[in-house]
């Protein structure tokens, strides 16, 4: 794992990029956002002790968002599953925090998926009822 110092305003990674690192913030603040039709939407504001980019360790897919330092930030780059496992074993409090946060993210994703499926189903029913 490598410590990295990022200056305020510097991009850590961009949407569409391929890399396998996740990051743990030691100090500073990072915003996570995505861009749609030239408009940026903030997804999260990460601070000391937070982590982001973890899906890169588990999936070989392009980044779905951009990460940018809001202020000068020091962080650790975790570049492999093995590094993450060693870090979690050495830092059980962080491991517990990570499990809680990932469970919350999964629950939020499930709620969003169910909501979207309900919208689609409702539209299909409306369409079928309106058919001659």
Instruction: Specify if 32 maps to a domain.
Output: yes
One domain, residues 63 and 103:
no
Whole-number pLDDT of residue 121: 78
Is 86 among the domain residues?
Answer: no
pLDDT of residue 52: 94
pLDDT at 125: 64
Instruction: Look at residue 120 in the predicted model and tell me its pLDDT.
Output: 80
Per-residue confidence (pLDDT) for residue 132, from 0 to 100: 57
The answer to whether the CB of 53 falls within 8 A of the CB of 62 is no
Do 52 and 25 share a structural domain? Answer: yes
Same-domain check for residues 48 and 105: no
Does 59 lie in the same domain as 8? yes
By residue range, what is the domain housing residue 114?
91-131
Q: Tell me, yes or no, whether 62 and 105 share the same domain.
A: no
pLDDT at 20: 86
Based on the domain organization, do 59 and 2 belong to the same domain?
Answer: yes
Residue with tokens 């409306």: 126
One domain, residues 127 and 102: yes
pLDDT at 129: 60
User: Do residue 9 and residue 58 come from a single domain?
Assistant: yes
* pLDDT tens per residue across span 68-98: 999 999 999 999 999 999 999 999 999 999 9
pTM for this model (two decimals): 0.79
| Below-70 pLDDT ranges, the chain | 123-132
**43 contact partners, CB below 8 Å, separation of at least 6:** 32, 33, 34, 65
Query: What is the domain count for the chain?
Result: 2
**Cβ neighbourhood burial of 29 (10 Å; 0-12, 13-18, 19+):** middle
């Amino acid at each position: 794992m490598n410590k990295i110092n990022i200056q305020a305003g510097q991009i850590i990674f961009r949407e569409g990029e391929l890399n396998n690192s996740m990051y743990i913030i030691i100090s500073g603040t990072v915003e996570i956002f995505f861009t749609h039709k030239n408009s940026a939407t903030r997804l999260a504001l990460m601070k000391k002790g937070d982590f982001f980019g973890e899906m890169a360790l588990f999936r070989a897919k392009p980044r779905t968002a951009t990460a940018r330092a809001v202020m000068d930030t020091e962080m650790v780059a975790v570049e492999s599953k093995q590094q993450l496992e060693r870090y979690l074993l050495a830092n059980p409090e962080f491991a517990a925090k990570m499990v809680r946060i990932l469970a919350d993210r999964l629950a939020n994703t499930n709620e969003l998926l169910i909501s979207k499926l309900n919208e689609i189903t409702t539209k299909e029913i409306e369409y079928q009822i309106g058919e001659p």
